[in-house]
Amino acid sequence: MKYGIVAFPSKKLQDVANGYRKRYDPHYALITPHMTVKGVFEADDKEIEHVAKAIREVANKNKPFELNVSKVSTFAPITNTIFFKVTENDELLALHKDLNEDFFGNAPEYSFVPHITIAQKLSSGEHDDIIGQLKMVGVDHTEIIDRIHLLYQLEDGSWTVYETFRLDEEN
């Protein structure tokens, strides 16, 4: 089964992201707006119990982090994906490192660019038409994230929460 680890922003930011995702993201119905902290990996029923225990240990030693979104950006020309750029900070980078270095699953395929996708799988024309407008409208949002979520993928391609982990639970 496929799994991933994400942080969900507040409903307020999800609503803003979904305003764009409804029109520009074919994955809109499959997953709530999120920031991935560990990409997709495979595990069976037995392995996932060990993974969940390891995530709990990582969550306990990492602190809640500030999620600050202050601009719209794009991965073009690599892919025509548009996203809310999340500002890196020490807590977020430490959490990502702990979940990706010497941790279950493969090492990340790409360098970590914390973000919340608002549009993807666009044609070059669609991308070029909307990126300027979205950058002008912009985004400015800050909140504290105090939990991460282990998700799994259902047969229909949608993602659902397997378990939620509070950050810094022991302290």
Q: Which residues participate in catalysis according to the annotation?
A: 34, 115
Question: How far is residue 111's CA from residue 100's CA, in Å, rounded to a whole number?
Answer: 11
CA-CA-CA-CA torsion for 72, 73, 79, 81, nearest 10 degrees? -10
Residue closest to 17 by CA, chosen among 118, 85, 136: 118
Question: How far is residue 22's CA from residue 115's CA, in Å, rounded to a whole number?
Answer: 18
Which residues are within 8 A (CB) of 78 and not within 5 positions of it... i.e. 6 or more apart?
Answer: none
Which residues are within 8 A (CB) of 61 and not within 5 positions of it... i.e. 6 or more apart?
Answer: 98, 168, 170
